[in-house]
A = this chain, B = another copy of it.
């Protein structure tokens, strides 16, 4: 995963809010939707961007699709950003 794709994914406030919510607990798309003023298709788009950036993973559970943080990648990103900011 390139730093580019990661930072693009992180550059949107809605997506960062999604990540914040997923820090607390795994959530289905619909559950997440309750915290936003956008339509579900819009939310779905943001989730797709986060998935492409490998920041979240999803897993179907019956009718729902449960999203959760991809913790190992979070660590990897932290390291990349640390290197970037280390002069």
Residues on A facing B (Cβ under 8 Å): 3-4, 7-8, 10-11, 13, 16, 19, 23, 69, 71, 74-75, 77-78, 81-82, 84-87
Q: Is the CB of A78 within 8 A of B87?
A: no
Residues of B within 8 A of A87 (CB): 23, 69, 71, 74
Nearest to A6 among chain B residues (CB) is B11
The quantity of this chain's copies bound in the complex is: 2
Which residues from chain B contact A86 at a C-beta distance below 8 Å? 78
Hey, which chain B residues are within 8 Å of A77, CB to CB?
85
20 sample A-B contacts, Cβ–Cβ < 8 Å, listed by A number: A3-B16, A4-B16, A7-B10, A7-B11, A7-B16, A8-B11, A10-B11, A19-B84, A23-B87, A69-B87, A71-B87, A74-B85, A74-B87, A75-B85, A77-B85, A78-B81, A78-B82, A78-B86, A81-B81, A82-B82
